[in-house]
Amino acid sequence: MKDYIIKDIELASWGEKEVRLAEREMPGLMELRKKYGKEKPLAGAKIAGCLHMTIQTAVLIDTLIELGAEVRWMTCNIYSTQDHAAAYIASKDIPVFAFHGMTEEDYNSCLEFVVNKDKTFWPNMVLDDGGDLTKHLIENYGDYFEYENIPNIGIVGITEETTTGVLRLKEYEAAGKLPVPAINVNDSVTKSKFDNKYGCKESCVDAIRRATDIMMAGKVALVVGYGDVGKGSAASLASAGCRVIVSEIDPICALQAAMDGFEVCETNDAVDRADIIVTATGNFNVINSKHFGWMKPNAIICNIGHFDNEIDVAWLNNEENAVRTNIKPLVDLYTVKDTTCFGNRKKDIILLAQGRLVNLGCATGHPSFVMSCSFTNQVLAQIELCNNAEKYEDKVYVLPKELDEEVARLHLPHLGATLNTLTEEQCKYIGVKKEGPYKSDSYHY
Ligand code: NAD
Ligand code: RBV
């Protein structure tokens, strides 16, 4: 029986060809297949996954399966699925629930399908991006966690991909409501300092260009938030020739932005000068109803943070506030009242991807190489919790630095990079072992 919901199974062979291409750029995952393909450390793992169903994720799913796991998968965003990637996964008889442009209602149904309420598939591991699946399980399927110490019955661990999902896990932990141990994949250095930063450096401008074809050089861009994603997005816009302004709440990040050469000021003071506005905070309502009326005519607004509440899209979609004209999928023009001193006139502003993460809605997300770093951490985290969950308390952990360094090491040859080796004397002098780890846990990179 067909156990998938996708756009079109006919897209599978195209998906497969792109998966094979991506594999060439994902050395970490391919190395894990070589290292663990025979041993199958994920044998017995039944993973419920909720992460953008892209080509890169298809390579992750293939890796989990090659290491012995069974998986059921759904996308973690209504606009991020690459339909040919989903078709490729479905064509291999892997249950997958993902298609580009689903509704919120469809998304909620997918949450039900992936946990499989008929219970023919009991997940014992969760792999999440943003925490929607974790929340759904904790709030509605508490019994799935009940037999956590019996192998293969009951969920024993959660691994989480992104900053916003980790925030949610920590809230559960603080409230004493985290039912099993969780690994925060995001805070592996080889995840957040690479995917969030160098990934967005490539995919932020890529998305704005694909959506609008706008000339970037010379435009004024405002980036709200200068964490890892903001840093990558600002670098992306600057390298395309934009004049970048940054707004922040954190004095350290604001100082970093200033010393990276960007103007730093309050959102309120920049919003009327920006041709392009990108939110990257993981916070809500950072571009709100008052800002729309101040914006430059034809300003482009988008969000690259995980959830769609960074921009008050609900206000724009209220017919009393704005007239919406759809230009093409995920590009909408809104006619709003000008509330600057010019008053009494209307102006158009352009919203991308309905405020959902623009790089996955209007483009194809991060490139394969950087996702290989992220997903190698994901696989290592799944192996650890699947085999050693009983060693952990119901808390949020990060992978040890040795593994973080290993993930980086696996990706160096692909870039033709080699390492110096410490002499015994040098090891003693700086107090590290020859084989690492080379930094203390408090080092910030
Ligand atoms: P982060 O915590 O490193 O950075 C967020 C920054 O926003 C912080 O420096 C914070 O001080 C700032 N901020 C918070 N509220 C603000 C406000 N009102 N005004 C200005 N600045 C404000 O987080 P991050 O790792 O950069 O992630 C940001 C978001 O992007 C998260 O939702 C994360 O899950 C998501 N993410 C998206 C992608 C993608 O591919 N689109 C990749 C990685 C992470
Ligand atoms: N992300 N995935 C892709 N190409 O599959 N691109 C970005 C991809 C992830 C990234 O790891 C980030 O933490 C998460 O999407 C936000 O939902």
pLDDT tens-place string over residues 1-60: 789 999 999 999 999 999 999 999 999 999 999 999 999 999 999 999 999 999 999 999
* Neighbour tally for 416: CB within 10 Å: 6
Query: Residues 358-375: what's their mean pLDDT?
Result: 98
Q: Is residue 226 in contact with ligand 1, taking CB distance under 6 Å?
A: yes
* Cα–ligand 2 centroid distance for 435 (angstroms): 31
pLDDT confidence of residue 149: 53
Alpha helices in 260-310 (DSSP H): 267-270, 289-294
In this structure, which residue's CA is closest to atom 30 in ligand 1?
305
The pTM is what?
A: 0.97
Query: Residues 108-119: what's their mean pLDDT?
Result: 87
- CA-CA distances (angstroms) from residue 212 to 362, 372, 379? 10, 29, 36
Q: Answer whether the bond into residue 179 is a cis peptide, omega within 30°.
A: no
Q: Which residues line ligand 2 (CB under 6 A)?
A: 52, 54, 56-57, 129-130, 161-162, 195, 199, 306, 360, 365-366, 371, 374
The Cα–Cα gap between 405 and 393 comes to 25
Residues in a beta bridge with 377: none
Cβ distance 413 to 28 under 8 Å? no
Q: Binning pLDDT at 50, 70 and 90, where does residue 117 land?
A: low
| Among candidate residues 100, 40, 43, 31, the one with its CA nearest the CA of residue 363 | 100
Q: Which atom of ligand 1 lies closest to the CA of 304? A: 41
pLDDT digits (tens, 9 = 90+) for 342-351: 767 999 999 9
* Cα–ligand 2 centroid distance for 52 (angstroms): 7
Residue 211 C-beta-side C-alpha neighbours within 13 Å: 31
pLDDT confidence of residue 428: 98
Using the 8-state DSSP alphabet, how is residue 185 labeled? S
Q: Binning pLDDT at 50, 70 and 90, where does residue 151 land?
A: low
* Cα–ligand 1 centroid distance for 374 (angstroms): 17
Cβ distance 244 to 262 under 8 Å? yes
| Among candidate residues 73, 191, 131, 197, the one with its CA nearest the CA of residue 396 | 131
In this structure, which residue's CA is closest to atom 43 in ligand 1?
196
Q: Which ligand is nearest to the CA of 305?
A: 1
pLDDT confidence of residue 198: 98
Look at residue 323 and give its three-state secondary structure: strand
Report whether pLDDT(156) > 60: yes
Cβ distance 133 to 166 under 8 Å? no
* Cα–ligand 1 centroid distance for 133 (angstroms): 21
In this structure, which residue's CA is closest to atom 13 in ligand 2?
162
Q: Which residues 6+ apart lie within 8 Å of 299 measured at CB?
A: 274, 275, 276, 277, 349, 350
Cβ distance 147 to 290 under 8 Å? no
pLDDT confidence of residue 305: 98
Look at residue 395 and give its three-state secondary structure: coil
Q: Is residue 361 in contact with ligand 1, taking CB distance under 6 Å?
A: no
The Cα–Cα gap between 187 and 223 comes to 22
Query: Residues 134-158: what's their mean pLDDT?
Result: 84
Better pLDDT: 169 or 342: 169
Report whether pLDDT(148) > 60: no
pLDDT confidence of residue 120: 77
Using the 8-state DSSP alphabet, how is residue 296 labeled? P
User: Considering the chain, what is the average pLDDT of its residues?
Assistant: 96
Report whether pLDDT(152) > 70: no
Q: Is residue 304 in contact with ligand 1, taking CB distance under 6 Å?
A: yes
Q: Is residue 57 in contact with ligand 1, taking CB distance under 6 Å?
A: no
Cβ distance 370 to 199 under 8 Å? yes
* Cα–ligand 1 centroid distance for 230 (angstroms): 7
* Cα–ligand 2 centroid distance for 296 (angstroms): 30
* pLDDT above 70 as % of the chain: 98
Residue 3, phi then psi, degrees to nearest 5: -120, 55
